[in-house]
Amino acid sequence: MSAALDRLAVHTITTKPWTLAEAADRYARRGIGGISVWVEAIEGMTATAARRIVDDAGLRVPALVRGGFFCDPSESERNRRIDRNRELIATAAELGAEMLVLVVGATPGTPLDRQRGWVSDGIEALLPEAQAAGVKLAIEPLHPMYAADKSCINRIAEARHICQRLDHASVGVAVDVYHVWWDPDLELEITRLGETRTLFAFHLCDWRVPTRDMLNDRALMGDGCIDLAGITAAVRLAGFDGWDEVEIFSEEHWREDQDQFLDRIVERYRLLESRHG
Ligand code: ZN
How many CB atoms are located within 10 Å of the residue 249 CB?
A: 18
- Average pLDDT score over residue span 169-186: 98
- Alpha-carbon distance of 156 to 69, in angstroms, equals 17
Share of the chain above pLDDT 70, in %: 98
Q: Measure 167 CA to ligand 1 centroid, in angstroms.
A: 23
Find the 244 Cα to ligand 1 centroid distance in Å.
Answer: 11
The per-residue pLDDT for range 12-70, each reduced to its tens digit, is 999 999 999 999 999 999 999 999 999 999 999 999 999 999 999 999 999 999 999 99
Instruction: Determine the distance separating the centroid of ligand 1 and the alpha carbon of 140, expressed in angstroms.
Output: 7
CA–CA dist 227, 231 (Å, integer): 6
Is the Cα dihedral 93, 7, 255, 260 positive or negative? negative
Cα-Cα-Cα-Cα dihedral sign, residues 257, 258, 263, 269: positive
CA distance 73 to 78: 8
Q: How many angstroms does the Cα of residue 203 sit away from the middle of ligand 1?
A: 5
How far is the CA of 1 from the CAs of 142, 233, 271, in angstroms?
Answer: 33, 24, 16
What separation in Å is there between the alpha carbon of 142 and the centre of ligand 1? Answer: 8
Question: How many A from CA of 1 to the centre of ligand 1?
Answer: 26
CA 113 to ligand 1 centroid distance, Å: 22
pLDDT at 3 over 60: no
| 34 CA distance to ligand 1 middle (Å) | 15
Ligand 1 centroid–CA 230 distance in Å is 18
Superfamily classification of domain 3-275: Divalent-metal-dependent TIM barrel enzymes (3.20.20.150)
Residue 275 above 90 pLDDT?
no
Question: Ligand 1 mean position to 131 CA, how many Å?
Answer: 23
The Å distance, Cα 75 to ligand 1 centre, comes to 28
Pairwise CA distance, residues 177 & 247, whole Å = 10
Omega of the bond prior to 66 within 30 degrees of 0, cis? yes
CA 245–ligand 1 middle distance (angstroms): 8
Q: Partners of 36 in the beta sheet?
A: 11
H helices present in 57-185, as ranges: 75-95, 112-133, 156-166, 177-180
- Ligand 1 geometric centre to CA of 2 (Å): 25
Yes or no: say if 258 and 214 are a contact pair by the CB < 8 Å rule: no
CA angle at 194 for the pair 11 and 84, rounded to the nearest 5°: 45
Beta bridge partners of 99: 63, 136
Answer whether 186's CB lies under 8 Å from 160's CB. no
* Boundaries of every domain in the chain: 3-275
- Dihedrals phi, psi of 139, to nearest 5 degrees: -75, 125
Distance from the alpha carbon of residue 277 to the mean position of ligand 1, in angstroms: 23
Residue 4: predicted pLDDT? 83
pLDDT, tens digit (0-9, with 9 covering 90-100), for 121-154:
999 999 999 999 999 999 999 999 999 999 999 9
Ligand 1 mean position, distance from CA 202 (Å)? 8
Distance 72 CA to ligand 1 centre (A): 22
Residues near 10 by Cβ (< 8 Å), separated by ≥ 6?
Answer: 23, 27, 32, 34, 35, 36, 245, 246, 262, 265
**What average pLDDT does this structure show over 214-241?**
97
Ligand 1 mean position, distance from CA 176 (Å): 5
Ligand 1 geometric centre to CA of 8 (Å): 14
Residue 1 has pLDDT above 70, yes or no: no
What pLDDT is recorded for position 166? 98
- Cα(156) to centroid(ligand 1), Å: 13
pLDDT band, residue 277 (cuts 50/70/90): low
